[in-house]
Structure 1
């Protein structure tokens, strides 16, 4: 059985997924939807037999698809997922899943009712280092965690507006929030402080905060702080440090560093997490077995609620209980 896959969004993520899928046996990328017909056609030309469309509805009317990859900015979610749910088409969607809580609540209701297979692109979960950290934490007591996403502001105009991206904590740092949930546990309360320090003075139309720190209480009793900035031109870094009764686990893009008294062990990532993510989703499409999908829409919704709560806390100056 050859799976027929559609791609919505022709930016970096959409084309990255398309290229990886096209290299697989039993998978055919047959449709692209973009913000314009021209963009969709240009993307489709790179894949034999693929066709471009300027709307999700036209694509679904014209092509019989086994699944769709949704790779669009935060502000563009909603209508796309609703159309896929209505037609009962499984989908993998890149994070974040929305700008607010209302939209994904309605989408999740439809997914649950139709028992639809979904996956969300929290690829940090698929890293070898993350799997190893979870194994180690079964034998240790997590005490507290420090997370960070430090970098510069992406060049696309929608990212720098709250109505386009919902800000860095929702759009980027969500990966670290999700990593905390996946390795340490569920979050019960957040308190956030954001600031606009610099970027609005050098770029037009910036409404997103460029610095922020969020304190999180977890159900198991541990505490965490996750900070971010999008204002530094060098020294970018993202990761999560988990402090345990035995030492420190440092998780990042490259893998895991396990620091104990008198010993430091490094576990470099060997696998491509995006390929593992795709493999899990495609396996579920073929067999119905969703056990290898590490982040369903329902699970990702809980991460999303935390990041939206952080924005609300920063706005009101009050802690938010989840």
Structure 2
């Protein structure tokens, strides 16, 4: 059975997914929807697909088994509603939106229909994250520290707080999501955000360029996640570290370092987590078996609530309970 897939969005990440889909057996990228018909057709022709400029037009014209949604945070809402009301399973890139209002409404409709969904928190599908989760099952973690330190993306919408939700919601969401996946739910956050460099270096920057967030977990674990987008190209750090009496477990996208009482072991990451998340989703579309999907829409919404609460706290100066 060949699956006919639609894709919404024409940016760099849409092409990442399109290339993966094009290389899969019994999968056909059938249609691409862009913000204009021209953009949709431009990407679609690379894959022998049809291009559209409106989600409803695409769904009216094509019989699709599933759709990938890869659009900026401010563009969510109507796209998902069109898919939900036609009971079309969808894979959606993070974050679900810049704020929680639209996803909260969409989630109710998704749950009512028991619609199949998957969210692109690809780090969950890394072999090292699986190894880390298994190791942590036997540990009593004391503290967790995470970072997303890098530069500012060049696209205009990312620099606008209302459109992107800011760095903690748009980028650092990956670290927040791993924290939840590996250590459990967050119950309270206290965020401190600041504007140090980028609002002077570029026009129309309304997002904070530095921030740190303290988090309390239901388990009693205390965590801190910091981020910045002031660094030059090629300089940065992304990671999550776990500290306890047995030692240190330090993860980054490339490797996992385990330090136990003086002995250290390093595990290089292997495989392609983007391919793994797609395979899990498409397996569910084919068979109905959702067990391989590690983050659905409801789970992705929980991560969004944490990142949005951190921004709320930074504005009020007070901790926010979740």
The runs of at least 4 aligned residues of structure 1 exceeding 4 Å deviation read: none
Give the secondary-structure state (helix, strand or coil) at the position aligned to 1:310. Answer: helix
- Alignment partners' CA distance in 2, 1:33 and 1:100: 24
- Contact conserved, 1:195 with 1:211, CA < 8 A, in 2? yes
- Alignment partners' CA distance in 2, 1:133 and 1:141: 13
Give the secondary-structure state (helix, strand or coil) at the position aligned to 1:17. Answer: helix
2:261 is matched with: 261
- The superposition leaves residues 209-263 of structure 1 with CA deviations (integer Å, 9 ceiling, x where unpaired) of 0000000000000010000000111521111011122111111111311111121
2:78 is matched with: 79
1:123 is matched with: 122
How far is the alpha carbon of 1:176 from its aligned partner?
0.2
How far is the alpha carbon of 1:163 from its aligned partner?
1.4
Aligned-CA RMSD value: 0.7
- Contact conserved, 1:212 with 1:228, CA < 8 A, in 2? yes
- Contact conserved, 1:128 with 1:255, CA < 8 A, in 2? no
2:221 is matched with: 222
- Alignment partners' CA distance in 2, 1:91 and 1:153: 29
- The superposition leaves residues 129-155 of structure 1 with CA deviations (integer Å, 9 ceiling, x where unpaired) of 100001101111111100000000000
Matched, 1:105 2:118: no
- Alignment partners' CA distance in 1, 2:15 and 2:89: 19
- The superposition leaves residues 99-152 of structure 1 with CA deviations (integer Å, 9 ceiling, x where unpaired) of 111100111111101111100000110111100001101111111100000000
1:186 is matched with: 185
How far is the alpha carbon of 1:38 from its aligned partner?
1.1
1:135 is matched with: 134
- Alignment partners' CA distance in 2, 1:205 and 1:306: 26
Please show how residues 1-322 of structure 1 align to structure 2 within 5 Å: 1-48=1-48, 50-233=49-232, 234-322=234-322
- Alignment partners' CA distance in 1, 2:51 and 2:222: 48
Where do 5+ consecutive residues of structure 1 fail to align?
Answer: none
Where do 5+ consecutive residues of structure 2 fail to align?
Answer: none
